[in-house]
């Protein structure tokens, strides 16, 4: 039982490049979330999903898109990366709307 | 809207010292309250939670009591260890799909 896994662990992008971050969970959770973590700002919710085929905007959705084609996977896309998107990205899943289980994070550097 | 305020860190303590990390919140209604811990290089893990007023959450020697009259959920531990060094996040869920996090408090415990 791997829990929540994230791919890749670390990535460097140039401004304007695109990439997709993958989150996978093997706990059959309905809810999945993408956060970004910046120094001194805690975690801020980017997008979330309440079930397969659904997505919704969080607190800071601009510049990101997401998809939940399969229940176990939640993809976060950056179409045109900007230096302001340099951050650590965390995925989480939850069986309810409360306790969340987090992945190990993806560190992204945009030059 | 919902918000969570934590004391700024870092908090530096000697081993076996008493720990308090303050957390206050703003929310309508009756939110559930959480403490998450993030060890270096890892994702967040749920430490404890409380779902109604006067509830006490506890785990691994840590405790926090849901105080509605003071809108607080302070984290305490009677005797910290070096292995408790981490970043601690207070969070709330107010009957919705999202957790609202505080900015995090870094704890450093010296031998």
Q: Mean per-residue pLDDT for B84-101?
A: 88
pLDDT recorded at residue A65: 97
Q: Which residues, in sequence order, are bridge partners of residue B53?
A: none
pLDDT recorded at residue A96: 81
pLDDT recorded at residue A101: 92
In this predicted structure, the answer to whether residue A97 has a pLDDT above a threshold of 90 is no
Q: Is B34 in contact with A90 (Cβ distance < 8 A)? A: no
B46 inside 8 A of chain A by CB: yes
pLDDT recorded at residue A99: 84
B20 inside 8 A of chain A by CB: no
Q: Is A102 in contact with B89 (Cβ distance < 8 A)? A: no
Closest CA to B72 of B37, B111, B106, B102: B102
B75 inside 8 A of chain A by CB: no
A62 inside 8 A of chain B by CB: no
Q: How many CB pairs under 8 A join A and B?
A: 55
Q: Is A103 in contact with B34 (Cβ distance < 8 A)? A: no
Closest CA to B35 of B60, B70, B9, B8: B60
Q: Is A104 in contact with B43 (Cβ distance < 8 A)? A: yes
d(Cα A23, Cα A105) in Å, to the nearest integer?
10
**pLDDT tens digits for range B46-56:** 999 999 999 99
The DSSP string of B24-59 is: EEE-SS--EEEEEEE-TTS-EEEEEEE-STT-EEEE
**pLDDT tens digits for range A18-62:** 999 999 999 999 999 999 999 877 889 999 999 999 999 998 999
């Amino acid at each position: 039982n791997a829990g929540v896994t994230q791919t890749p662990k670390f990535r460097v992008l140039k401004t304007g490049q695109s990439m997709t971050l993958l989150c996978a969970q093997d706990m059959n959770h309905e809810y999945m979330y993408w956060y970004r973590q910046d120094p001194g700002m805690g975690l801020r919710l980017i997008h979330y999903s309440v079930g397969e085929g659904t997505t919704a905007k969080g607190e800071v959705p601009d510049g990101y898109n997401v998809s939940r084609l399969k229940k176990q996977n939640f993809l976060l896309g950056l179409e045109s990366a900007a230096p302001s998107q340099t951050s650590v990205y965390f995925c989480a899943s939850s069986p309810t709307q409360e306790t969340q289980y987090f992945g190990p994070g993806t560190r992204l550097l945009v030059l | 809207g919902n918000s969570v305020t934590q004391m700024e860190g870092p908090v530096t303590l000697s081993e076996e010292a008493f720990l308090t990390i303050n957390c206050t919140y703003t929310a309508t209604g009756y939110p559930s309250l959480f403490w998450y811990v993030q060890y270096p290089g890892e994702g967040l893990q749920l430490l404890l939670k409380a779902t109604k007023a006067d509830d006490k959450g506890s785990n691994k020697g840590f405790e926090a009591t849901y105080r509605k009259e003071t809108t607080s959920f302070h984290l305490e531990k009677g005797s910290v260890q070096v292995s408790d060094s981490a970043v601690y996040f207070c969070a709330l869920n107010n009957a919705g799909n999202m957790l609202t996090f505080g900015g995090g408090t870094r704890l450093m415990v010296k031998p």
